[in-house]
């Protein structure tokens, strides 16, 4: 058995169903071996999107997403995909081809020190120099990626190791890593202390982040908040932890969040943060917002506790396991008055003036998400479309994906491809702006080639809207480097790929248009034209 | 606030760069860093002297612990540790200053480990502030080269309780 065959066998052992990648000579032996297995391989059109597609797959299934690329430029192109997964704690195993071990460090053709380059945004990386290490390395990589604080693991595979003969292939049953033992169960003393604080609380609040999905604790969170009638707000990565119209859910926090959520953050007396790291966009000045309240911080990563906010009652462990332990302790809570006052904030009108002649992105997104199937997946890109989506999407039993940590433009289409391929029964809609669309429109070919009935909405306003908006509010309308012009003509792009095309240039008949778009049999692209001068923030 | 981190790591290639890279990326300060194998050839010990506010000091320990090649991190203050630094100094001497140099060497309990007609190498192994003092004392003399190991430290026996 060759190293390449051993690699493919490892993926079989890990029950990998699908792999996203792009070949080159340095990874050819592996793809050759992979072709002889049942694992589906999807050829993306640029390596970065292999990472995003694997991310969409991982977030849909809770399993490790896998991608493979060649050495040098293949690997460096993947870096943004890896960094995005790292910032959003998405479990990936990324395999890169590499030049022969003897030539390492001699700057030969298509050599890049990829483990060195990726060091600060991988959870761990390997460069395999002995073919007999392959089973152990793969076993460890999958374990590391999908336990503790999840994240990407990179395996760099020199071509001679892929071609070398392995003595005997034995896939390890267990990993033995003396330096890696993530905490799952929370400290019982801390859990008791947290529950005591919640008993004393008059205005308790749960701030839920993406960690809820990563630990599959959605059900536990819902039961806990309902049982004790504790209101819930979320970070951007936490959108969908509770259904949007759940009576205890008060929306997304942060500088792009909603009023009720931010008031709740300000006024609560006990704040229980779960799987959220409160970075700068969620809480601009953590020390101020944390005044006059007790903080309970639940996170699987001890380094997140006290990094941005603190001090707190820390509970390190897996959110699902901790909720189960919290449930064991009976407490009395009375939050009627608190919920009533929060519900008043819901009634405050947004103050947004709907544009008359264009598509109103806010209403459009509300209608789109409500017209989607209940358990559908909505993937938002980055920019104005993302903020409009976060504020207006209505998540019921489905999911909402976006890259909240890294904010990588072009994420939505490849991530939606990964999500759809993970579960072909689920309806998947990608929403992006015309800037982000042009960063990944090459993947339309993959959609057709792989027969993926994806629905894509492009909010076309001929600008890099969120930057233009920043220049409008902060730089006296100096619109530098943000004009995209009217190209490409999206109807023709759609035609070039044989994708059904829909145009929404006003709100007239929008419900019917959305219906037809979502009902389209194959892939479909809807071009929505908002007012180019429309802003996510209220006009001054 | 100054802290000493005694970090046991897997003795593999690339680990030093991963640990020092962590300090650079997160803007943590490194005052000194010394690495060497321990009694177990699979394990190296890094002694890192760093400083920062309370949050930074705590984060350094937590971030080090997150690295998969890090086996154990011990953080302690200088006062509760035994710390030493080895320094070699090559100086030019002549008839007029030779005696002064010898006096400094003997007062500081240093040692002359190599000598030629006009040059000598002085070795001192002492607490870091004493090696700094040695540099000061020899500053009037023409120093040709100087090499220091950086601080090595172990927490005092009583700390192990």
Q: Where are the domains of chain A?
A: 3-163, 188-346, 361-528
A66 close to A82: Cβ distance less than 8 angstroms: no
Task: Provide the shortest C-alpha distance from residue B69 to chain A (in Å).
Answer: 6
The ipTM (two decimal places) reads 0.89
At residue A142, the pLDDT reads 98
- What's domain B2-80's superfamily in CATH? ACT domain (3.30.70.260)
Residues 6+ apart with CB under 8 A from A522: A451, A453, A499, A500
Residues of A in contact with B65 (CB under 8 A): 302-303
A387, A403, A64: which is closest to A252 by C-alpha?
A387
Best mutation target, B13, B16, B17, B18, to test chain A (most A CBs within 10 A): B18
Three-class SS of residue A136? helix
At residue B161, the pLDDT reads 64
Q: Could you tell me the pTM of the whole model?
A: 0.95
Task: Provide the shortest C-alpha distance from residue B21 to chain A (in Å).
Answer: 8
Q: Residues in chain B, how many?
A: 161
Give the up-direction half-sphere exposure of residue A24: CA atoms within 13 A in the CB hemisphere: 24
* Cβ neighbours, 10 Å, residue A307: 20
Q: Cα separation of A285 and A319, whole Å?
A: 25
User: How wide is the angle at C-alpha B119 spanned by C-alphas B117 and B123, nearest 5°?
Assistant: 130
A372, A421, A417: which is closest to A397 by C-alpha?
A372
| DSSP letter assigned to residue A373 | -
Q: Which residue of A has its CA nearest to B8?
A: A179
Q: Per residue in B24-34, pLDDT tens?
A: 999 999 999 99
* DSSP code string of A400-460: EE--TTT--TT-HHHHHHHHHHH-TTS-EEEEEEHHHHHHHGGGHHHHHHTT---EEEEE-
Fold of A188-346: Rossmann fold (3.40.50)
At residue A540, the pLDDT reads 60
Level-2 CATH architecture, domain A361-528: 3-Layer(aba) Sandwich (3.40)
Query: How remote is the C-alpha of A121 from its chain's centroid?
Result: 15
In chain B, which among 34-73 make CB contacts under 8 A with chain A? 55, 58-59, 62-63, 65-71
Per-residue confidence in pLDDT tens, chain A, 540 aa: 999 999 999 999 999 999 999 999 999 999 999 999 999 999 999 999 999 999 999 999 999 999 999 999 999 999 999 999 999 999 999 999 999 999 999 999 999 999 999 999 999 999 999 999 999 999 999 999 999 999 999 999 999 999 999 999 999 999 999 999 999 999 999 999 999 999 999 999 999 999 999 999 999 999 999 999 999 999 999 999 999 999 999 999 998 999 999 999 999 999 999 999 877 777 777 766 678 899 999 999 999 988 877 778 999 999 999 999 999 999 989 999 999 999 999 999 888 888 889 999 999 999 999 999 999 999 999 999 999 999 999 999 999 999 999 999 999 999 999 999 999 999 999 999 999 999 999 999 999 999 999 999 999 999 999 999 999 999 999 999 999 999 999 999 999 999 999 999 999 999 999 999 999 999 999 999 999 999 998 876
By 3-state DSSP, what share of chain A in percent is helix, strand and coil, each rounded to 5? 40, 15, 40
Q: Which CATH number fits domain A3-163: 2.40.40.20, 3.10.310.30, 3.40.50.970, 1.10.8.60?
A: 3.40.50.970
Strand pairing category for A377-380 and A270-274: unpaired
At residue A285, the pLDDT reads 72
Q: Which CATH number fits domain B84-155: 3.30.70.1150, 2.60.40.420, 3.40.366.10, 3.30.1370.100?
A: 3.30.70.1150
Burial category of A398 from C-beta neighbours within 10 Å (exposed 0-12, middle 13-18, buried 19 and up): buried
Q: Do A123 and B68 touch (CB under 8 A)?
A: yes
Return the domain boundaries, chain B. Answer: 2-80, 84-155
Is the fold of A3-163 the same as that of A361-528? yes
Task: Provide the shortest C-alpha distance from residue B62 to chain A (in Å).
Answer: 5
Q: Cα separation of A513 and A148, whole Å?
A: 44
Burial category of A521 from C-beta neighbours within 10 Å (exposed 0-12, middle 13-18, buried 19 and up): exposed
Residues of B in contact with A302 (CB under 8 A): 62, 65
Q: Cα separation of A505 and A357, whole Å?
A: 8
Q: Average pLDDT, whole number, for chain B?
A: 94
Residues of B in contact with A310 (CB under 8 A): 55
Q: Per residue in B138-157, pLDDT tens?
A: 988 889 999 999 999 999 99
Joined tokens for residue B96: 């007029």
Is the fold of B2-80 the same as that of B84-155? yes
Return the axis-axis angle of helices A134-145 and A3-13, rounded to nearest 10°.
40
Q: Do A115 and B25 touch (CB under 8 A)?
A: no
A404, A149, A196: which is closest to A296 by C-alpha?
A196
């Amino acid at each position: 058995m060759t190293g390449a065959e051993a690699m493919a066998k490892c993926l079989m052992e890990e029950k990998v169903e699908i792999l996203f990648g792009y070949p080159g000579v340095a990874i050819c032996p592996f793809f050759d071996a992979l072709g002889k297995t049942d694992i589906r391989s999807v050829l993306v059109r640029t390596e970065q999107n292999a990472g995003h597609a694997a991310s969409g797959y991982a977030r849909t299934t809770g399993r490790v997403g896998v991608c493979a690329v060649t050495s040098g430029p293949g690997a460096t192109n993947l870096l943004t995909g890896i960094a995005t997964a790292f910032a959003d704690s998405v479990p990936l195993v990324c395999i890169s081809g590499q030049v022969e071990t003897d030539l390492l460090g001699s700057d030969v053709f298509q050599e890049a020190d990829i483990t060195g380059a990726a060091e600060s945004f991988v959870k761990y990386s390997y460069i395999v120099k002995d073919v007999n290490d392959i089973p152990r390395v793969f076993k460890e990589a999958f374990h590391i990626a999908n336990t503790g604080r999840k994240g990407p693991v990179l395996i760099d595979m020199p071509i001679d190791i892929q071609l070398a003969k392995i003595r005997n292939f034995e896939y390890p049953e267990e990993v033995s890593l003396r330096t890696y033992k993530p905490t799952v169960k929370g400290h019982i003393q801390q859990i008791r202390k947290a529950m005591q604080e919640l008993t004393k609380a008059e205005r308790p609040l749960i701030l839920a982040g993406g960690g809820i999905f990563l630990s599959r604790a959605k059900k536990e969170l819902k039961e806990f908040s309902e049982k004790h009638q504790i209101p819930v707000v979320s970070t951007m990565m936490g959108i969908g932890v509770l259904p949007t119209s759940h009576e205890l859910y008060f929306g997304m926090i942060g500088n792009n969040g909603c009023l009720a959520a931010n008031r709740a953050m300000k006024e609560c007396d006990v704040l229980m943060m779960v799987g959220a790291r409160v970075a700068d966009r969620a809480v601009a000045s953590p020390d101020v917002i944390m005044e006059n309240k007790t903080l309970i911080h639940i996170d699987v990563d001890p380094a997140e506790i006290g990094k941005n906010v603190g001090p707190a009652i820390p509970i390190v462990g897996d959110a699902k396991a901790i909720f189960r332990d919290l449930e064991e302790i009976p407490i009395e809570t009375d939050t009627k008055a608190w919920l009533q006052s929060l519900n008043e904030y819901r009634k405050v009108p947004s103050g947004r003036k709907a544009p008359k002649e264009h598509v109103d992105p806010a209403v459009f997104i509300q209608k789109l998400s409500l017209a989607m199937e209940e358990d559908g997946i909505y993937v938002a890109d980055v920019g104005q479309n993302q903020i409009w989506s976060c504020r207006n999407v209505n998540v019921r039993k489905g999911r909402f994906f976006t890259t909240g940590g890294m904010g990588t433009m072009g994420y939505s289409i490849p991530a939606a491809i990964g999500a759809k391929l993970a579960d072909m029964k689920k309806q998947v809609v990608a929403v992006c702006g015309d800037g982000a669309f042009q960063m990944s429109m090459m993947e339309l070919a993959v959609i057709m080639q792989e027969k993926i009935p994806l629905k894509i909405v492009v909010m076309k306003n001929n600008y890099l809207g969120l930057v233009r908006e920043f220049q409008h509010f902060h730089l006296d309308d100096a619109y530098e480097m943000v004009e995209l012009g009217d190209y490409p003509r999206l109807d023709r792009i759609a035609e070039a790929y044989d994708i059904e095309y829909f145009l929404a240039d006003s709100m007239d008949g929008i419900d019917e248009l959305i219906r037809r778009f979502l009902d389209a049999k194959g892939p479909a692209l809807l071009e929505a034209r908002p007012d180019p001068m429309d802003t996510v923030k209220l006009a001054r | 606030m100054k802290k000493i981190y005694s970090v046991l790591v897997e003795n593999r290639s690339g680990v030093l760069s991963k640990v020092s890279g962590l300090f650079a990326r997160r803007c943590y300060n490194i005052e000194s860093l010394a690495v060497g194998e321990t009694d177990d050839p699979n394990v190296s010990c890094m002694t890192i002297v760093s400083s920062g506010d309370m949050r930074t000091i705590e984060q350094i320990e937590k971030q080090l612990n997150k690295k998969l090649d890090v086996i154990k991190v011990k953080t302690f203050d200088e006062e509760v540790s035994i710390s030493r630094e080895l320094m070699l100094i090559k100086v030019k001497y002549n008839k007029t200053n030779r005696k002064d140099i010898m006096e400094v060497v003997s007062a500081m309990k240093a040692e002359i480990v190599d000598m030629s007609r006009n040059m000598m190498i002085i070795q001192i192994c002492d607490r870091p502030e004493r090696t700094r003092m040695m540099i000061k004392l020899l500053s009037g003399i023409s120093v040709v080269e100087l090499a220091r190991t950086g601080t090595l430290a172990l927490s005092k026996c009583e700390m192990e309780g």
